[in-house]
Structure 1
């Protein structure tokens, strides 16, 4: 019952506020190179033999503020082991180029690679592009919308492989709650252009609390849904995560 309440909360929260996990860092970046490193390590022994390792690295380079142009990279992995049993093993890498052609319109080009052993995902490679438009921009909140296409190559641990073209659509909001606390949210919808019954939905809420000019605390609510999965798998995943981040 609790998991259904949490799922409802995440969906409701996004429908009310519905900037992307790959864009939230960039909106605050100055010209030149900016980097951010988050790290979580848990090592337990004795009654509980447990190891957890979760690094998260983000690099952003802003070329121009006149026609805002940027390149950024996200690299993150999560690994956890209890006794001799691996209970988490996944990775995510995303490289994106963004170019504004006016104050309102932009285009994006991106590459992505990810894996998740517990979803039988040996690797999923994405390459694509999209066009976007800034909607509302005020001191209360900012909104933008993107639409594009991407090629997907997926290989499962069962050795099954698939290739297809997906539509990628996302909406982003940035909400400054206080001077020190900001909310970044995103909604993704990614259907197969041939069969709309095959689709993915991704939702993220990220609360970022500024501790110092370089140190930040983040609380993240993640939810993703895949309409087509192996029979042994759940169609959704949900996570609540927290990080301490150092920007340099």
Structure 2
């Protein structure tokens, strides 16, 4: 009788672990799947989460099939030995990720409807996650492959400066698809800007490396800029903040 009660508790715990993991990373993967580039940044957490989900489901099934047979008890014990350290690791990683995504937001501009994004506004550990050469190399290629600036290069290509200035842009569009507001380039189209002698002098005096990295080439734009990385951080932060709100 006591064994049956214990197994019911184990079944319940396994079900709770599965549900919790699904609500955090499972739902998160579905949301992020719409912008699949971000899955590049979540590979370790997603891999652990999927393993935890499979093991927790397996232990629930083992207890439900026949909880008193020795072989099922043995399988259950082995699964728990694997599951417990994975759950602890997953919990630590989730808490760590929630902590590093608290800090950071866009910079409001006086005459624009969109914000600017700077790397220094975000936590050091979050910057390391996104901007290390391995992750950013893959992410950079992914942004180009999915044509992250399509809305500005096609849909809004004929906008006047006033129309452009009053449009809200996503953090990716603001950081990767146009030059920094502080470069003072002259607007031609949302993704085509004229560099004047005055703006070059101004940029050099302010040491804004993004201004030198900007290109009107649709394959380049500001994809290599610090502002592009900052815009990526903002989207990543918002996505996972919303996921944790839903799960909690």
Relative to the length of structure 1, the TM-score reads 0.21
- Relative contact order (C-alpha < 8 Å, sep 6+): which is higher? 2
- Structure with the larger strand share: 1
- Structure with the larger helix share: 2
Larger-gyration structure (1/2): 2
Relative to the length of structure 2, the TM-score reads 0.21
